[in-house]
Structure 1
Amino acid sequence: MNISAELSFYPFTDDFKPPVRDVIKHLEQQPGVDVRPNRISTQVFGSFDDVTAAIDATMRWSFERYDSCVFVTKIMNGDRSPKD
Structure 2
Amino acid sequence: MDISVELTFSPLQDGYEPHIIRFIKALRDSGLTVLENPMSTQIYGHYTTVMEVLNKEMYNSLEGVEQGVFYLKMVKTDRSAYEPHF
* TM superposition score normalised by structure 2: 0.86
Structure 1 segments of 4+ aligned residues over 3 angstroms from their partners: none
Instruction: Give the gaps of 5 or more residues in structure 1.
Output: none
Letter of the 1:53 partner, please give it. Answer: E
Aligned counterpart, 1:12: 12
Aligned counterpart, 1:35: 34
Per-residue CA deviation, residues 44-78 of structure 1 (Å, 9 max, x unaligned), is 00000111111111111112111111101110001
| Identity within the alignment, % | 34
CA RMSD of aligned residues (A): 1.6
Larger radius of gyration: 2
Per-residue CA deviation, residues 13-58 of structure 1 (Å, 9 max, x unaligned), is 2222221111101122224x11111100000000001111111111
**In 2, Cα distance between equivalents of 1:47 and 1:26:** 17
**In 2, Cα distance between equivalents of 1:82 and 1:58:** 25
Aligned counterpart, 1:51: 50
What's the secondary structure of 2:45's corresponding residue?
strand
Aligned counterpart, 2:65: 66
What's the secondary structure of 1:57's corresponding residue?
helix
What's the secondary structure of 1:79's corresponding residue?
coil
**In 1, Cα distance between equivalents of 2:57 and 2:9:** 10
